[in-house]
Amino acid sequence: MLEVRGIQKHFGDQHILKGIDLSIEKGDVTVILGPSGSGKTTLLRCLNFLENADCGEMTMDGRKIDLGRASAKDKAFVKDRTAFVFQNYNLYNNKTALENVTEGLILGRHMHKDEAIKTARVALDKVGLSDRENYYPSQLSGGQQQRVGIARAIARNPEIILFDEPTSALDPELIEEVLSVMRKVANEGTTMVVVTHEMSFAENVATKVVFMDQGVIVEEDTPQVIFTHPKEERTFSFLKNIIHDTDYVI
Amino acid sequence: MNITDVKLSYLIEYFLDFIPFLSVTLQYTLLAMAIGIVFGLLMAKGKLGKNRILKGFANGYTAVMRAIPSIVLLFLVYYGLPKIFMGAFAINLTRINKVYFVGITLGLFNIAIMSEIMKSSYLSVDRGQYEAAVSNGLTSSQAIIRIVLPQAFRISIPNVGNAIITLLKEGTLGYTIGLIDSMGRANQQNALTFQNHILEIYISLAALYWILTILLDRGFKAADSKLSYSSRAKERQTVKAGEISKEVAA
Ligand SMILES: Nc1ncnc2c1ncn2[C@@H]1O[C@H](COP(=O)(O)OP(=O)(O)O)[C@@H](O)[C@H]1O
Ligand SMILES: [Mg+2]
């Protein structure tokens, strides 16, 4: 469903992504692990054209896109089929929870307003925030804001949702409410790519775990294999550190 | 003369006498605001845009305006502009109402002030919201118009209030070219009374401006809190931006 080959990205003379290949099937929950600065965020942003890759090739739903020369139409095609959940939520502060969800439906999907509201209410209900639809982001806790962020993503019914460390800006006691919403979304068969340091989520929900370091994919496999006998030394030492320290790192 | 000799009846008399002349103040302030908003917006676009020439021009303009004393610019506009128009287009500007010269002078300063306010307000809306909007299906201009600008507008309110108060006060320099606003009127009264009421006259004038400023402040505070949905974090950014407009005005 989504396949990328040889994504490269520089920031100035820093080589951030050094040729990433990734293939994602429908219903996959792909968790990307890796130390801070390894290029995980940059990779997700390139998949969604929030950042333009230098080169590489993407195939999505049969459409081939040269990432180095993607047209506005290509970008719109991909943006229409993907949604992004941000580390710091990035809700529209001038819009209520409901409006945060309807905005993209009305403007992006050209949905009629009533229909958009109906769709948004279903999404807010799914993340357990039906009673907060008229709250502004500043009136919501971090966990609630992130759940609105997830509602905003699922309401558009995208083919893939990209999550960039969705819980790492949250106080520890708020993490679980967001993870449980994510598990629910995963259980419904949504295709997800999740950058996270939540090992329990990776172990129990992921269908595939990808370990990234210094701009390359070091190894990828099922969580069972990655967590019990990783092939690469780098993967092993990363996991050892994380699992020994706490349940998450930032 | 002794401060205890100041007569309350004169204070009131002059105060009431000056009030109608506020219409002149209103005229040049409105003209300066109109100029400032229209051209300030273009300058702010230049400052925020990628075009090096426009950016350089906008920044250079602001730097020059910061350096010129108001009275110097006023003389340049009042004595210089008619000469230029006469020479270049054979148009005679000398019969035009002096209030326009003051309005244009203040407008030229205000372009610099407003462009700085607009720029800093725009930048204080976190870029993540724009990114969320475009990844959620909004076009770039929809994201700017519906998400970024409404928040930037609200953030700018206190600074715009300060800018207006600055204009009101700077406009009193119009007396140097013979404009009769409340300041000009005060000078007239002072001459007519052979400086015998000098304290009453200028205390009344000071009181008038003081009250005007209080009323404007109240109005802007009311508008500000009426539109307050934004997070507390943003309030703090407003304070930072406030210093800029004062700096430019000084
Ligand atoms: N916009 C940018 N400009 C310059 N350097 C950047 C930018 N974004 C990320 N980087 C750099 O790219 C590297 C990888 O960043 P990132 O993708 O955020 O890593 P991760 O998400 O794995 O922590 C870091 O060294 C970071 O400093
Ligand atoms: Mg990151």
Instruction: Report residue B233's pLDDT band, with 50, 70 and 90 as the boundaries.
Output: very low
- Residue B38: phi and psi, rounded to 5, are -65, -55
Single-letter residue type at A164: D
Which 8-state DSSP code applies to residue A35? -
- Give A242's pLDDT tier (boundaries 50, 70, 90): confident
Distance of CA B189 to the CA centre of its chain: 27
Which residue's CA is the closest to the ligand 1 atom numbered 3?
Answer: A11
Q: What does DSSP say about strands A82-85 and A160-164: parallel, antiparallel, or unpaired?
A: parallel
* Residue B98: predicted pLDDT: 95
| Top mutation candidate among A7, A32, A41, A52 for ligand 1, by most atoms within 8 Å of CB | A41
* pLDDT above 90 as % of chain A: 94
Question: How many domains, chain B?
Answer: 1
- Residue A39 C-alpha to ligand 1 middle, in angstroms? 6
Q: Is the per-residue pLDDT at B190 higher than 80?
A: yes
Q: How far apart are the first and last CA of chain B?
A: 34
In this prediction, residue B234 carries a pLDDT of: 40
Q: Quick one: closest CA in A to B233, which residue?
A: A138
Burial of A250 (0-12, 13-18, 19+ CB in 10 A): exposed
Contact B146/A at CB under 8 A = yes
Q: Using alpha carbons, select from A182, A132, A131 the residue that is nearest to residue A153.
A: A182
Q: Which residue of A has its CA nearest to B155?
A: A94
Q: Is the pLDDT reported for residue B20 higher than 70? A: yes
**Which pLDDT value is given to residue A28?**
96
- pLDDT digit string, tens, across residues B138-151: 999 999 999 999 99
Q: How far is CA B33 from CA A171, A193, B21, B25, in A?
A: 46, 50, 19, 12
B235 CA from centroid of ligand 2 (Å)? 27
In tens, the pLDDT along B143-184 reads 999 999 999 999 999 999 999 999 999 999 999 999 999 999
Closest CA to A153 of A164, A145, A161, A144: A161
Q: Is the pLDDT of residue B243 over 60?
A: no
| pLDDT value for B226 | 82
Ligand 2 ion: nearby residues, β-carbon < 5 Å: A 41
Q: What is the pLDDT of residue B249?
A: 46
| Residue located via tokens 């802007």 | B220
Q: What is the CATH number of the domain that holds B146?
A: 1.10.3720.10
Distance in angstroms (rounded) separating the CA atoms of residues B52 and A69: 25
- pLDDT digits 0-9 by tens, A150-202: 999 999 999 999 999 999 999 999 999 999 999 999 999 999 999 999 999 99
Band (pLDDT 50/70/90 cuts) for residue A39 is very high
Interval A197-231: pLDDT, tens: 999 999 999 999 999 999 999 999 999 999 998 99
Distance CA B84, CA B99 (A): 19
A249, pLDDT greater than 50: no
Ligand that comes closest to the CA of residue A165: 2
Q: Is the pLDDT of residue B230 over 80?
A: no
Comparing B1 with B130, the larger pLDDT belongs to B130
Residue of B nearest to A75 (CA): B135
Residue A241 confidence (pLDDT)? 85
Question: Closest by alpha carbon to B62, among B114, B101, B106?
Answer: B114
Q: Which domain holds residue B11?
A: 3-249
For residues A51-59, give the mean pLDDT: 96
Kindly indicate whether the ipTM for this predicted assembly is greater than 0.85, answering yes or no: yes
Q: What is the atom index within ligand 1 of the atom nearest the CA of A43?
A: 17
Per the CB < 8 Å rule, is B129 touching A107?
no
User: What φ, ψ does residue A152 adopt, rounded to 5°?
Assistant: -60, -35
pLDDT band at B206 (very low <50, low <70, confident <90, very high): very high
Query: A11 CB less than 6 Å from ligand 1?
Result: yes
Among B135, B153, B227, most A C-beta atoms within 10 A, so best to mutate, is B135
